[in-house]
Structure 1
Amino acid sequence: MRRGRLISRKRFAGSLRLRLYFLIMLPLVLVALLAGAIRYWQAQDMSRTLYDDALKVVAHAVAREVIITQGDVVSDALLNSLVGVMGDPIFYNVSAADGRILAGYTDTPDDIIPHDLRGGEPYFFDFTYIGDPVRAVVLREFIADPFFDGWTTVLVWQTITQRRALSLVILQQALAILAVVLVTASVAVWFGITQGLRPLIDLKEAVALRSPSELNPIRRAVPNEVRPLVATMNSLFARLQAEMQRRNSFIANAAHQIRNPVAAIQTQAETALTARTEDQRQARLQDLYESASDLSRLSQQLLSLEVADHVSSENDGIVDFTSLVAGIARRFAPKALSEGIEIHLNAPEQAFCVAGNAILLREAIENLIDNSLRYGAVTDDEIRLILESDGHTVTLLVEDDGPGIPKEAAEQVFERFVRLPQQGGQKFQKSGCGLGLAIVRSVAARHGGTAYVRHSDTGCCFALVLPLALQPSDEVSPEHGSRSLCR
């Protein structure tokens, strides 16, 4: 039942013109039917009133005729004249005060005349005579004559064929007028809707003529009712245009960044194939391995950046941020120690919980630590991870004692494919593609937070700020698999 209703609703909503037409015409048809029913009731009432008045006049005429003829039957000439006026056969009955029938038909049903009938007042009622429904009127008049002996009762009845015929004629005339009105209104409404929707049709044609790359705002004049729709479409066009420009820029930068590692891999592979000694071949293979690793990391970071920008919130949950940071620091510790660098974690015992995607948060933390290992810390240095909270947000600080970042470049480093030169104009010795910090800021924005460079007198300090979860979770599974309480 529900499925059928949904299907019919979809079909009904397929055409705005038909929808408006039915919404306007359906009430008009219902009003016309109601008006026809009211008109039929009025026609019956009018017919009954007209024929009842005529029947009362006939009763008076019969009474006067019987009085004049002293109880004789009504003349055929008078009856024919009355039938010609009324249309249906007329029957009558005149009885004296003692119940004697003085004139007229004697085969009327018993007890159809009420005993408490008042004198001089007509009483109308219906009954069946010889199998046909009839309408009757009865009059009681006092006649001072020995023959009539005081109160005389006059009963006149008539079949109702003409009454019904008159009601149907009036109804047919009313329905004919209503039909003409409905047909005229139907044509006028259809024409009006078609003309009223002309701006929408023109708008549709204008949009249809656009090319896929044409996302300029719609500037044509439209009715007031359509302006919110056009404004929404223009807003959508603006967002699509910005997204397309961002994607085009991203694809161009990615192609430029990937081209050099691929060319290097090809050159190193060719050199390794032509190496004359085993030592030369091993050296070229090592270079080839490092270039392939850089390309793999570049591809991984490109994918991570796209995921951070467009991943849905379906897999979001409550994440124990403290345990997540501690687990990642433990995984980076061996690599850092192999390069003579120590990683220190300064975090309270309290578990800070954030709402979000654990995979993206892990990617952001890893990029911050990797950035300090690549560009900040040197041998015999240390990287300090500090967790702090103000009750509403949790902040992860990643500090190192490296060369630092100039204030004027504090925002530039978060742009894609941006790498700062060292003093003297030389690039950093360790390879990179300039996407790590862009991923950090994108993940932070995805979770309602931010990432920035905090001013430090020595070295560099990056801050990742995330809002704490509004509702605490009883037990949370951190990314590294342990369980802890978030409060």
Structure 2
Amino acid sequence: MKAAHSLYGRLLGWLTLPLLTLGALLLLQAWLEARTTADHAYDRLLEAASLAIAEQVQRQDDRLWLDLPPAALEMLAGDAQERVFYSLSDQQGRHITGNARLPLPSDRSAADGGLLYRDIDWQGLRLRQGIRRSRLEGWQSGESFDVSVAHTREGRDALRFELLRGNLAGILGMGMLAVVTLLMALRAALRPLTRLRHAIRTRDPRTLAPLDLDLPRELAELRETLNGLLSRMRRVRANQERFIGDASHQLRTPLAGISARAELALRQTQPERWRAALETIHSTSENTARLAMQLLSLTRLANPEYRPELIPVDLNDCARQAVRDHWMTCHQAGVDLGADCLASPVHVAADWQLQESLANLIDNSRRYGASRITLGVMTHPPRLVIEDDGPGIPADQHLLVLRPFHRGRDDHEGSGLGLAIADGIARNHGARLSLGDSAMGSSLRVEIRFPEASQ
């Protein structure tokens, strides 16, 4: 059988999955926040630079003129040595001056009243551009113009990665702490299961005593289930030990008798004595073989794992078949065997053991002095009835004779198993076997009552 994964590994896998998902979300959030923070910081520099340039724009000789101070662009050039570009355009979009002809958006009205930011690709460079729409101050002219400032992204990217590294250190620290906490929590949670496994592994295989461990509720249910199993095994072992003891006692007597009778016959010289000894040995052998078969049947019925496969059968057919199977034996013994069946079928759920039960009941009546045995079928509820005209069984012995090896009276033929086997078969069919007085007098009436649902 293929080995299954450990519970520790499965729990670790299922709990690590959400931790990894959460870590990925935290990394994504840190990246987005670092990018937003870096863009916001450098966009403020673009805003300040465009404002400083716009304040220097004047009108001279009927045209726009710009005297750009160096500080206006120096503020954009940081440690990363970004390349900085600027341009001045009139209200028609014509380039006036600047160190580059930066492109303008088709809808320049978006920059009215503030600064328009956008990312552009210009001459193979990735730039961040800020466009400010402004007007000349003065009463003579209110001409509008556009100041466009752009720089490369080295400084932004450097700041973004620096911020991400700072967040990443915190995320990794929290991740390591979460992993250590998870491992410690798993070990603590599975420690009771380890104690339970150790207690089971170190137990003496011969002991079936209940487990006595202080466990959490979930494992306490498993402990009680195991204790229930051990309790059933104790009952099975007790029944087996009692059965083995009784069976060995029951078989030892007839086997010893056969051995003694054969030894005695070997000392004789007359053929008549040999024949008498052989007849006795043959009779004892038949009884011993029957006893062995009954012991096997009783062992099968006592097996808690045995579950008969029940099929619908007609009680009338069962009674007729039992009469056919045992008529010759009863006829040779001078016993009148018959069946009183119904015209309509009476169906119950049963298997082949029902015939074995009837065989034991018929044989029991024949051996204990009955001269007439009648099998009957009744309904509501469905019942099989076996009546005889034998000596019967006292009422105070009705429950005792259902126990294995209990005899109603001392005899050398009976084994005390017939009624016990019939009772066990009835219980396996969900039926109930009861003893009572027959309508023939003080003789015995055995009734097997099936549940109504089995019809």
Does residue 36 of the first structure (1) align with residue 27 of the second (2)?
A: yes
Q: Are the equivalent residues in 2 in contact too, given 1:355–1:468 (CA < 8 A)?
A: no
Instruction: Output the CA distance in 2 between the equivalents of 1:191 and 1:418.
Output: 62
Structure 1 counterpart of 2:117 = 124
How far apart, in 2, do the equivalents of 1:215 and 1:231 lie?
Answer: 13
Structure 1 residues 62 and 210: alpha-carbon distance in aligned structure 2, compared to 1, 3 A threshold: same
Q: 1:259 aligns with which of 252, 266, 274?
A: 252
Query: 2:411 maps to which residue?
Result: 428
Task: Tell me the CA shift for residue 78 of structure 1.
Answer: 4.1
Gaps of 5+ in 1: 1-5, 422-426, 473-487
Question: Matches of residues 430-469 of structure 1 in structure 2 within 5 Å?
Answer: 431-456=413-438, 457-467=441-451
- Would the aligned equivalents of 2:82 and 2:152 in 1 still touch at CA under 8 Å? yes
Contact 1:113 1:138 survives alignment (8 Å): no
Matches within 5 A, 1:203-222: 203-222=196-215
Aligned counterpart for 1:400 among listed residues 378, 388, 399? 388
Secondary structure of 1:337 counterpart: helix
* Aligned-residue identity in percent: 28
Cα RMSD between the aligned structures?
A: 2.5
Q: Which amino acid aligns with 1:401?
A: D
CA distance in 2, matches of 1:50, 1:347: 104
Say if 1:140 and 1:154, in contact at 8 Å, map to a contact too. Answer: yes
For 2:11, the aligned partner's letter is: L
> How far 1:356 sits from its partner (Å)?
2.7
> How many residues matched?
449
Deviation digits for residues 400-444 of structure 1, max 9, x if unmatched?
Answer: 1111111111101010111122xxxxx236x12111111111111
| Counterparts in 2 of 1:138 and 1:53: CA distance versus 1, 3 Å | same
Unaligned runs of 5+ in 2: none
Q: Following TM superposition, by how much is the alpha carbon of 1:339 offset from its aligned partner in structure 2, in angstroms?
A: 1.6
Residue 348 of structure 1 is matched in structure 2 by 342
User: Matched residues in 2 for 1:468 and 1:293: separation?
Assistant: 39
* Distance verdict in 2 for CA 1:455–1:177, change over 3 Å: farther
CA shift in 2, pair 1:17/1:138, >3 Å: same
Q: Does 1:231 align with 2:213?
A: no
The range that moved more, 202-211 or 444-453, is: 202-211
- Match status 1:90 vs 2:102: no
Q: Which has the higher contact order (CA 8 A, sep 6+)?
A: 1
* TM-score after normalising by structure 2: 0.91
Moved more, 255-264 or 68-77: 68-77
Report if the CA contact (8 A) 1:97-1:148 is conserved. no
1:477 corresponds to which residue?
none
Distance 1:53 1:455 in 2: 111
Greater mean deviation of Cα atoms: 84-93 or 46-55: 84-93
SS of equivalent residue, structure 2 residue 349? strand
68 and 50 in structure 1: CA distance in 2 versus 1, 3 angstrom threshold = farther
* In structure 2, C-alpha distance between the alignment counterparts of 1:39 and 1:60, rounded to whole Å: 31
The alpha-carbon deviation at position 247 of structure 1 amounts to: 0.6
Question: Aligned residue for 1:71?
Answer: 65
Q: Secondary structure at the match of 1:461?
A: strand
Q: Is the Cα contact below 8 Å between 1:93 and 1:155 reproduced in 2?
A: yes
Counterpart CA distance in 1 for 2:29 and 2:92 is 46
The structural deviation recorded for 1:206 is 2.1
Deviation at 1:147, TM superposition (A): 11
1:480 corresponds to which residue? none
2:101 paired with 1:107? yes
Deviations 1:78-98 (A, max 9, x none): 423431378522211111224
Matched, 1:411 2:399: yes
Q: How far apart are the structure 1 equivalents of 2:302 and 2:296?
A: 10
